[in-house]
Structure formats: structure tokens, C-alpha cells
């Protein structure tokens, strides 16, 4: 009992006196403490969001970089393999106007070459329509690209110059058709690594020629530059030609500077 009396007789601290004098301050202290915790939680939440967003951006950037590097490696490998194949070369054929033409006649121009045949039911018409669109897109862009589109037949038995001229009139006036003897076409196709094979004839002596479906880009120097498969759109081909033109012009500038 004496212990409790002594405890009650001890002097109170300033905080204790304040709390006894104003009991309502107890709830104020609790409110301020809770508010501080909430603000701290709010700050931590936003900081977590910003950190997560930053990490996500770094991850996405890394993925895009890796993808671009992988595509660059694949493109270099493709170019190296094409260089080994030595695609393209000199040729001598007869155009749809009956004029003998040599590959040297097209030097100074960009040439887009497609191999096909006039009796092709679907693929050749689709590719020639695409080629016509490429010509129009390049003319609309006025990029200073003088493009010569060439259609080379792989069916000399049926594709005379007159037949080719009539056939190409349905697509674009700037596509120049060419044909030749079987030996000439064999040599030209071989130089471009084009495969073609005549199929069996039906009762009406009609037949299909199986062939490679690729457009070849030849530069102003007469050298093979690039190729475009059936899955490429006209817009993609135009972009590819413009890109190759820039590369070609830059290489020529470097060559001139090297001589100087």
C-alpha cells in the first residue's frame, strides 16, 4: 500500500500532465501517427510503380536490341551466301519487240527481273501486278530511281515475242518482256539460280511450268544486289530498292574519296 502511495506522489512528466489536462490530444497523436504511416505507404507504392516501370522498359529495350541484332546477323549471313552463289551475270535475249538485247544494254539502270511464263494461271499474274505496283510507287516517290522491269520467259515453246507483248499489255507498259532459245534461257536461268521444269501435258497439249518465284534486283553496274520472295509486298520491295540505292551511292562516294 505504501508503494502505491509513493508512486502516486511522484512528479508527473510534462507529457503526462498535458495528456491529463487535454485528454483529446491522445486521439490527435494517434491520428498524426496513422497519417504518417499512410503517407509513407503511399510514397513507397509510387516508388515501387516507378521502379517496376523502369525495369520493364529496360527489359523491353533489351529484347528489341537482341531481336535487331539477330536480324542483322541473319541478313549478313544471307548476303554472304548469295555472294558465294555468284547470282546474275551477262545474258543475251530477244525482247518482245523482236530486238536483240544484252545485259550491258541495261547498265546505268536499276533492273527488277522476274522469270515466268504467259500461260501461268495465278502466281505469275499476281507477281506481275506486284511488279507494276512497284513501278508506280517508285514513280510517285520521285526518288530518282530509273527502274527497268524485265519479264523473262521460261517457256520459249509457247512464249514468242508477240505473245509476251500481248500478255504484258495487261499489266504495265514499262515491263519489258524477253525470251530466247531454250539454250539461251537455260543459261540465263542458271546464272540467276532460277529453277524451272516443264510439267506433263494434258489432252489439249496444255502444261504448267514449275519455276522459282523470286524478283531479282540488279544494280546500275550490272551486278546482282538483292532478291524479293513471293511473300514480299510491293511496298516492302520499294523500301528495299530505296535502301539498296542509298547503300550503292554511299559506296560510290567512299570509292571516289579513296581515289582522291
- 111 assigned to a ligand binding site: no
What residue has cell string 505473245? Answer: 163
Sort 27 into a burial class: Cβ within 10 Å, 0-12 / 13-18 / 19+: exposed
- 22 assigned to a ligand binding site: no
* Burial letters 170-187, b for 16+ CB under 10 A, else e: ebbeebbbbbbeeebbeb
In contact, 177 and 151? CB cutoff 8 Å: yes
Counting DSSP H helices and E strands in the chain, the numbers are: 7, 9
Give 36-67 as a DSSP string.
Answer: HHHHHHHHHHHHHHHHHHHHHHHHHHHHHHHH
Rounded-to-integer distance, Cα 226 and Cα 78, Å: 10
Between the CA of residue 22 and those of 11, 12, 35, 127, what are the distances in Å? Answer: 18, 15, 21, 92
Neighbours of 116 (CB within 10 A): 25
- 124 assigned to a ligand binding site: yes
Bind-site residues for Cu cation: 120, 124, 211
Bind-site residues: 120, 124, 211
Amino acid at each position: 500500500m505504501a508503494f502505491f502511495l509513493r508512486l502516486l506522489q511522484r512528479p508527473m512528466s510534462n507529457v503526462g500532465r498535458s495528456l491529463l489536462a487535454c485528454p483529446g490530444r491522445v486521439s490527435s497523436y494517434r491520428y498524426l501517427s496513422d497519417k504518417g504511416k499512410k503517407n509513407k505507404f503511399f510514397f513507397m507504392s509510387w516508388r515501387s510503380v516507378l521502379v517496376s516501370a523502369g525495369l520493364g522498359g529496360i527489359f523491353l529495350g533489351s529484347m528489341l536490341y537482341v531481336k535487331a541484332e539477330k536480324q542483322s546477323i541473319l541478313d549478313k549471313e544471307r548476303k554472304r551466301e548469295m555472294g558465294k552463289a555468284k547470282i546474275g551475270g551477262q545474258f543475251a535475249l530477244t525482247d518482245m519487240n523482236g530486238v536483240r538485247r544484252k545485259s550491258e544494254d541495261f547498265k546505268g539502270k536499276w533492273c527488277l527481273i522476274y522469270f515466268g511464263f504467259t500461260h501461268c494461271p495465278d502466281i505469275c499474274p499476281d507477281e506481275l501486278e506486284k511488279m507494276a505496283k512497284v513501278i508506280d510507287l517508285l514513280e510517285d516517290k520521285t526518288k530518282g530511281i530509273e527502274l527497268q522491269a524485265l519479264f523473262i520467259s521460261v517457256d520459249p515453246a509457247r512464249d514468242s515475242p508477240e505473245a509476251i507483248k500481248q500478255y504484258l499489255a495487261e499489266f504495265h507498259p514499262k515491263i519489258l518482256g524477253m525470251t530466247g532459245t531454250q539454250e539461251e534461257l537455260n543459261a540465263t536461268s542458271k546464272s540467276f539460280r532460277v529453277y524451272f521444269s516443264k510439267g506433263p501435258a494434258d489432252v489439249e497439249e496444255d502444261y504448267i511450268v514449275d519455276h522459282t518465284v523470286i524478283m531479282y534486283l540488279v544494280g546500275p553496274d550490272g551486278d546482282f544486289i538483292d532478291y524479293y520472295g513471293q511473300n514480299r509486298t510491293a511496298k516492302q520491295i520499294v523500301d528495299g530498292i530505296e535502301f539498296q540505292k542509298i547503300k550503292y551511292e554511299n559506296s560510290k562516294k567512299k570509292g571516289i574519296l579513296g581515289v582522291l
